[in-house]
Amino acid sequence: MRERIKDCERLRHILEAMNVIIENKEKHSYEEIISDKIVLFGFIKHVEIIGEAVYKLTKEFRNQHPEIEWDIIEGMRHVLVHDYYKIKPEQLWSTIENDIPQLKPLIEELLNEEIK
């Protein structure tokens, strides 16, 4: 039987994917991202990782932190994975440009609380 990964480890996965997105966003413009499928799918994959890690967080943890819209993050993951043909590059870019930088400090704070 596999050992269950703890919420703390999932938060690390989220933060790691966010860092990759933020670091690489600086290297590419929106136009470059949407015109290069490999680059586009690299960003999509890291947003998926964030959503999958959120999906795997325990319900108890998510309920203890209602300040984060876990369901929206998880919902985006479902679209990226299951409804990939409906991906809107401008919506993905908005997530990369706006949502992830706003969410990152909250995830860092939660991770610091979990480590203590």
Closest to 21 measured CA to CA, from 13, 71, 54, 109: 13
Length of the chain: 116
| Tokens 């413009």 found at | 29
28/61 Cα distance (integer angstroms): 35
Among 10, 28, 46, 77, the one annotated catalytic:
77
Whether residue 77 lies in the annotated active site: yes
Annotated catalytic residues are 77, 82
